[in-house]
């Protein structure tokens, strides 16, 4: 057995999960799908005293509409996000991004809530949550609170969740009219973590002029980076390829990516500009009524 020893408990209520976290103290970790946590344990990069498995809590994998918002249980798997028409209908970007997450066998176990709480800098869901203005429900000993995605992701593998809080639900607000979105990434092999990924969202007015735009990047910093400056730069302009290319390059120039074994910082910045431009063009086209493939 590769992981260090730990104790395990699988409560069947959210209150039970929180109680087990409180009892176990700060060294406890929540187990959702385990597709990020178990590799970390196998490599002995973590040494939790107790794993609190939330997988036995019924109802945490439900998908429902609340008005025009899509509410996703934390245990909704990547696989389901990719294939459930109740997800793809109201929020097609989620279904488009799901196949980019790892491989099928990992997508069958890995969860949306787990990915957001883990906050890997190259993971897709934190970026998508930022781009779509999502929020999460966190339940702790004092009750539940709502955390906007913009306040959730703090730094490398770190979120605003307290050690005794469990993320139970993700709420994605309805898509405004004349709004398009897109996401794309480059990885060394399909299914690997992305070297760099980018997403974009564009809203047009009835005359086809930009009223809002944002881009988001992964793989370029300790956590996903949302940049809303493109909305200011493009406001009142038509989304021409030249205008979108200009704001994409400017957004990439504001990044401060790192060198590593797989790519230099300069290459990452070029990828960021290319992917931001590509996704802005796609998002603007969709905002103007282009159908998704």
> Which residues of this chain interact with another protein, rule CB under 8 A?
1-13, 15-16, 19-20, 24, 31, 34-35, 38-39, 41-43, 50-53, 55, 79, 102-106, 108-109, 190-191
- How near is the Cβ of 187 to another protein at its closest, in Å? 12
Q: Which residue, 10 or 160, is less far from another protein as judged by CB?
A: 10
- How near is the Cβ of 89 to another protein at its closest, in Å? 21
Q: Is 249 in contact with 152 (CB distance < 8 Å)?
A: no
Q: Is 91 in contact with 98 (CB distance < 8 Å)?
A: no
- How near is the Cβ of 163 to another protein at its closest, in Å? 15
Closest CA relative to residue 79, chosen from 64, 65, 61: 61
Name the H helices within the chain.
14-24, 37-42, 78-83, 85-88, 92-97, 104-107, 112-118, 124-131, 149-152, 229-234, 241-253, 265-287
Contacts of 146 (CB under 8 A, 6+ apart): 135, 136, 137, 138, 171
Q: Which residue, 81 or 134, is less far from another protein as judged by CB?
A: 81
How far is residue 168's CA from residue 289's CA, in Å, rounded to a whole number?
Answer: 34
Alpha-carbon separation of residue 249 from 128, 182, 259, 275, 278 (angstroms): 20, 17, 19, 10, 11
Q: Which residue, 103 or 145, is less far from another protein as judged by CB?
A: 103
| Distance in Å from the first CA to the final CA of the chain | 45
Q: Which residue, 79 or 213, is less far from another protein as judged by CB?
A: 79
Name residue 9's beta-bridge partners.
52
- How near is the Cβ of 41 to another protein at its closest, in Å? 7
Q: Which residue, 10 or 148, is less far from another protein as judged by CB?
A: 10
- How near is the Cβ of 203 to another protein at its closest, in Å? 33
- How near is the Cβ of 82 to another protein at its closest, in Å? 12
Q: Which residue, 33 or 121, is less far from another protein as judged by CB?
A: 33
């Amino acid at each position: 057995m590769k992981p260090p020893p730990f104790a395990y408990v699988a409560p069947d209520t959210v209150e039970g999960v929180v109680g087990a976290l409180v009892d176990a103290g700060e060294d406890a970790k929540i187990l959702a799908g385990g597709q990020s946590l178990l590799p970390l344990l196998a490599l002995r990069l973590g040494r939790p005293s107790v794993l609190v498995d939330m997988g036995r809590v019924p109802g945490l994998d439900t998908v429902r509409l609340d008005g025009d918002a899509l509410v996703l249980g934390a245990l909704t798997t990547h696989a389901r996000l990719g294939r459930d028409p109740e997800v793809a209908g109201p929020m097609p970007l989620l279904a488009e991004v799901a196949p980019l997450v790892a491989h099928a066998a990992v997508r069958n176990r890995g969860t949306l809530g787990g990915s957001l709480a883990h906050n890997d800098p190259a993971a897709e869901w934190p970026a998508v949550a930022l781009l779509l203005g999502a929020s999460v429900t966190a339940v702790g000993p004092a009750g539940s609170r709502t955390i906007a995605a913009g306040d959730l992701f703090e730094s490398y593998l770190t979120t605003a969740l307290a050690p005794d809080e469990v993320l139970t639900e993700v709420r994605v607000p309805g898509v405004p009219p004349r709004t398009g979105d897109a996401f794309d990434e480059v990885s060394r092999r399909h299914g690997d973590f992305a070297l760099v990924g980018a997403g974009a969202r564009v809203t047009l007015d009835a005359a086809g002029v930009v009223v809002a735009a944002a881009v988001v990047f992964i793989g370029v910093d300790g956590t996903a980076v949302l940049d809303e400056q493109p909305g200011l730069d493009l406001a009142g302009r038509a989304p021409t390829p030249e205008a979108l290319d200009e704001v994409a390059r400017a957004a990439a120039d504001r990044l401060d990516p790192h060198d590593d074994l797989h790519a230099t910082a300069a290459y990452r910045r070029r990828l960021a500009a290319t992917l931001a431009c590509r996704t802005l063009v796609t998002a603007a086209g969709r905002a103007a009524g282009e159908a998704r493939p």
